[in-house]
Structure 1
Amino acid sequence: MVVEYIRYTVTDAARRQELVAAYKEARASLDAAPECLAYELTECEEDEISAVLRIEWISTEAHMQGFRKGPHFSSFFKAIGGFVKEITEMRHYTLTEIHHRK
Protein backbone atom coordinates (compact mmCIF):
# COMPACT_ATOMS: atom_id res chain seq x y z
CA MET A 1 0.00 0.00 0.00
CA VAL A 2 1.14 3.56 -0.73
CA VAL A 3 -0.25 6.89 0.40
CA GLU A 4 -0.67 9.75 -2.04
CA TYR A 5 -0.78 13.26 -0.64
CA ILE A 6 -2.21 16.07 -2.72
CA ARG A 7 -1.69 19.43 -1.04
CA TYR A 8 -3.77 22.39 -2.13
CA THR A 9 -3.39 26.10 -1.49
CA VAL A 10 -6.76 27.78 -2.09
CA THR A 11 -6.75 31.44 -1.06
CA ASP A 12 -10.40 32.32 -1.77
CA ALA A 13 -12.98 31.18 0.84
CA ALA A 14 -15.69 30.52 -1.75
CA ARG A 15 -13.23 28.52 -3.82
CA ARG A 16 -12.36 26.38 -0.78
CA GLN A 17 -16.04 25.47 -0.50
CA GLU A 18 -15.99 24.60 -4.20
CA LEU A 19 -13.02 22.27 -3.58
CA VAL A 20 -15.00 20.34 -0.98
CA ALA A 21 -18.01 20.21 -3.31
CA ALA A 22 -15.80 18.95 -6.14
CA TYR A 23 -14.53 16.11 -3.97
CA LYS A 24 -18.08 15.26 -2.90
CA GLU A 25 -18.68 14.61 -6.59
CA ALA A 26 -15.30 12.96 -7.23
CA ARG A 27 -15.55 10.52 -4.35
CA ALA A 28 -17.95 8.34 -6.34
CA SER A 29 -15.08 7.65 -8.75
CA LEU A 30 -12.72 6.79 -5.89
CA ASP A 31 -15.36 4.55 -4.30
CA ALA A 32 -15.80 2.69 -7.58
CA ALA A 33 -12.07 2.25 -8.23
CA PRO A 34 -10.72 -1.07 -6.93
CA GLU A 35 -7.22 0.47 -6.80
CA CYS A 36 -8.31 2.95 -4.09
CA LEU A 37 -8.38 1.64 -0.53
CA ALA A 38 -9.28 4.81 1.40
CA TYR A 39 -9.26 8.59 1.14
CA GLU A 40 -9.86 11.74 3.16
CA LEU A 41 -9.88 15.46 2.47
CA THR A 42 -8.68 17.62 5.34
CA GLU A 43 -8.54 21.37 5.86
CA CYS A 44 -5.82 22.97 7.97
CA GLU A 45 -7.00 24.54 11.23
CA GLU A 46 -3.95 26.79 11.55
CA ASP A 47 -3.81 27.92 7.91
CA GLU A 48 -7.25 27.97 6.31
CA ILE A 49 -5.91 28.22 2.77
CA SER A 50 -4.31 24.76 3.02
CA ALA A 51 -6.06 21.46 2.33
CA VAL A 52 -4.71 17.93 1.91
CA LEU A 53 -6.25 14.99 0.13
CA ARG A 54 -4.84 11.69 1.40
CA ILE A 55 -5.48 8.61 -0.72
CA GLU A 56 -4.41 5.05 0.05
CA TRP A 57 -3.71 3.09 -3.14
CA ILE A 58 -2.91 -0.59 -3.53
CA SER A 59 0.37 0.55 -5.13
CA THR A 60 1.75 3.45 -7.16
CA GLU A 61 1.42 1.31 -10.26
CA ALA A 62 -2.22 0.53 -9.44
CA HIS A 63 -2.86 4.25 -9.18
CA MET A 64 -0.91 5.37 -12.25
CA GLN A 65 -1.65 2.45 -14.58
CA GLY A 66 -4.93 1.14 -13.19
CA PHE A 67 -6.92 4.14 -11.95
CA ARG A 68 -5.51 6.80 -14.25
CA LYS A 69 -5.94 4.63 -17.34
CA GLY A 70 -9.17 3.02 -16.16
CA PRO A 71 -12.86 3.87 -16.47
CA HIS A 72 -13.17 5.99 -13.30
CA PHE A 73 -10.47 8.59 -13.88
CA SER A 74 -12.30 10.75 -16.42
CA SER A 75 -15.24 11.44 -14.10
CA PHE A 76 -12.83 12.00 -11.19
CA PHE A 77 -10.78 14.51 -13.18
CA LYS A 78 -13.89 16.22 -14.54
CA ALA A 79 -14.96 16.95 -10.96
CA ILE A 80 -11.62 18.21 -9.60
CA GLY A 81 -9.68 19.29 -12.69
CA GLY A 82 -10.39 22.97 -12.07
CA PHE A 83 -8.18 22.84 -8.99
CA VAL A 84 -5.00 21.47 -10.61
CA LYS A 85 -3.29 24.88 -10.56
CA GLU A 86 -3.80 25.06 -6.80
CA ILE A 87 -1.89 21.83 -6.14
CA THR A 88 1.40 22.46 -4.33
CA GLU A 89 2.38 18.79 -3.93
CA MET A 90 1.19 15.51 -5.42
CA ARG A 91 3.39 12.57 -4.42
CA HIS A 92 3.28 8.94 -3.33
CA TYR A 93 4.72 7.89 0.02
CA THR A 94 5.58 4.44 1.37
CA LEU A 95 4.82 3.65 4.99
CA THR A 96 7.73 2.99 7.27
CA GLU A 97 7.61 0.74 10.31
CA ILE A 98 6.61 3.79 12.35
CA HIS A 99 2.82 3.81 12.25
CA HIS A 100 -0.07 2.95 14.53
CA ARG A 101 -3.85 3.24 14.49
CA LYS A 102 -6.12 2.87 17.48
Structure 2
Amino acid sequence: MIVEYIRYELKQHQPDELVTAYRQASHQLQQAPQCLGYELSHCVEEPRSLTLRILWTSTEDHLQGFRKGPHFPPFLAAIRPFIGEIAEMRHYQSTDVVWHR
Protein backbone atom coordinates (compact mmCIF):
# COMPACT_ATOMS: atom_id res chain seq x y z
CA MET A 1 0.00 0.00 0.00
CA ILE A 2 1.14 3.54 -0.84
CA VAL A 3 -0.10 6.80 0.67
CA GLU A 4 -0.43 9.82 -1.58
CA TYR A 5 -0.51 13.22 0.07
CA ILE A 6 -1.82 16.22 -1.84
CA ARG A 7 -1.33 19.46 0.09
CA TYR A 8 -3.25 22.52 -1.01
CA GLU A 9 -2.35 26.12 -0.15
CA LEU A 10 -5.44 27.99 -1.34
CA LYS A 11 -4.94 31.50 -2.65
CA GLN A 12 -7.66 31.77 -5.29
CA HIS A 13 -10.38 29.59 -3.76
CA GLN A 14 -12.10 29.18 -0.43
CA PRO A 15 -11.67 25.98 1.62
CA ASP A 16 -15.37 25.12 1.35
CA GLU A 17 -15.06 25.18 -2.45
CA LEU A 18 -12.31 22.54 -2.33
CA VAL A 19 -14.32 20.41 0.10
CA THR A 20 -17.34 20.60 -2.21
CA ALA A 21 -15.21 19.63 -5.22
CA TYR A 22 -13.82 16.58 -3.40
CA ARG A 23 -17.30 15.55 -2.29
CA GLN A 24 -18.14 15.37 -6.00
CA ALA A 25 -14.83 13.74 -7.00
CA SER A 26 -14.87 11.21 -4.16
CA HIS A 27 -17.37 8.98 -5.95
CA GLN A 28 -14.74 8.29 -8.60
CA LEU A 29 -12.20 7.32 -5.95
CA GLN A 30 -14.72 4.99 -4.31
CA GLN A 31 -15.39 3.26 -7.64
CA ALA A 32 -11.70 2.84 -8.53
CA PRO A 33 -10.33 -0.58 -7.50
CA GLN A 34 -6.87 0.96 -7.03
CA CYS A 35 -8.10 3.27 -4.25
CA LEU A 36 -8.29 1.81 -0.74
CA GLY A 37 -9.48 4.95 1.04
CA TYR A 38 -9.08 8.70 1.40
CA GLU A 39 -9.37 11.55 3.87
CA LEU A 40 -9.43 15.32 3.33
CA SER A 41 -8.16 17.29 6.34
CA HIS A 42 -8.39 21.00 7.02
CA CYS A 43 -5.52 22.71 8.86
CA VAL A 44 -6.60 24.33 12.12
CA GLU A 45 -3.71 26.83 12.26
CA GLU A 46 -3.77 27.76 8.56
CA PRO A 47 -7.42 27.75 7.38
CA ARG A 48 -6.47 27.90 3.69
CA SER A 49 -4.30 24.78 3.91
CA LEU A 50 -5.90 21.38 3.30
CA THR A 51 -4.34 17.94 2.81
CA LEU A 52 -5.83 15.01 0.96
CA ARG A 53 -4.55 11.57 1.97
CA ILE A 54 -5.30 8.77 -0.50
CA LEU A 55 -4.44 5.11 0.05
CA TRP A 56 -3.51 3.32 -3.19
CA THR A 57 -2.76 -0.35 -3.79
CA SER A 58 0.58 0.78 -5.29
CA THR A 59 2.16 3.79 -6.98
CA GLU A 60 1.97 2.00 -10.33
CA ASP A 61 -1.71 1.17 -9.82
CA HIS A 62 -2.37 4.83 -9.13
CA LEU A 63 -0.37 6.23 -12.04
CA GLN A 64 -1.02 3.52 -14.64
CA GLY A 65 -4.36 2.12 -13.47
CA PHE A 66 -6.38 4.98 -12.02
CA ARG A 67 -4.94 7.81 -14.09
CA LYS A 68 -5.37 5.88 -17.34
CA GLY A 69 -8.74 4.41 -16.38
CA PRO A 70 -12.35 5.57 -16.72
CA HIS A 71 -12.61 7.16 -13.26
CA PHE A 72 -9.81 9.69 -13.69
CA PRO A 73 -11.39 12.07 -16.26
CA PRO A 74 -14.47 12.87 -14.13
CA PHE A 75 -12.31 13.00 -10.99
CA LEU A 76 -9.96 15.49 -12.65
CA ALA A 77 -12.85 17.56 -13.99
CA ALA A 78 -14.17 18.08 -10.45
CA ILE A 79 -10.86 19.22 -8.96
CA ARG A 80 -9.25 20.90 -11.99
CA PRO A 81 -9.81 24.49 -10.75
CA PHE A 82 -7.61 23.75 -7.72
CA ILE A 83 -4.60 22.16 -9.46
CA GLY A 84 -2.64 25.42 -9.49
CA GLU A 85 -2.94 25.60 -5.70
CA ILE A 86 -1.24 22.25 -5.02
CA ALA A 87 1.85 22.81 -2.87
CA GLU A 88 2.85 19.13 -2.72
CA MET A 89 1.70 15.92 -4.39
CA ARG A 90 3.80 12.88 -3.53
CA HIS A 91 3.63 9.17 -2.76
CA TYR A 92 4.86 7.85 0.57
CA GLN A 93 5.45 4.38 1.93
CA SER A 94 4.64 3.77 5.58
CA THR A 95 7.33 2.73 8.04
CA ASP A 96 7.02 0.43 11.03
CA VAL A 97 6.77 3.46 13.34
CA VAL A 98 3.03 3.58 13.89
CA TRP A 99 0.60 3.53 16.77
CA HIS A 100 -3.16 4.06 17.03
CA ARG A 101 -5.40 4.19 20.04
Separation in 2, partners of 1:96, 1:72: 30
Give 1:49 shift: 1.2
Provide the residue aligned with 2:89 in structure 1: 90
What root-mean-square deviation, in Å, do the aligned CA atoms of Structure 1 and Structure 2 show? 1.1
CA distance in 2, matches of 1:19, 1:65: 25
Letter in 1 for 2:31: A
The count of aligned residue pairs is: 101
Task: Extract structure 1 runs of 4+ deviating beyond 6 A.
Answer: none
**Correspondence for 1:34:** 33
How many angstroms apart in 2 are the aligned matches of 1:95 and 1:49? 27
Moved more, 14-23 or 51-60: 14-23
Normalising by structure 2, report the TM-score.
Answer: 0.95
CA separation in 2, counterparts of 1:37 and 1:60?
Answer: 12
Residue of structure 2 equivalent to 1:19: 18
- Counterpart in the other structure of 1:3: 3
Please list the CA deviations of residues 16-48 of structure 1 after superposition, one character each: whole Å capped at 9, or x if unmatched.
111000000000000000000010000000111
Identity %: 52
Structure 2 unaligned runs (5+)? none
Q: For the Cα contact (< 8 Å) 2:14–2:48, is it kept in 1?
A: no
In structure 2, C-alpha distance between the alignment counterparts of 1:86 and 1:10, rounded to whole Å? 6
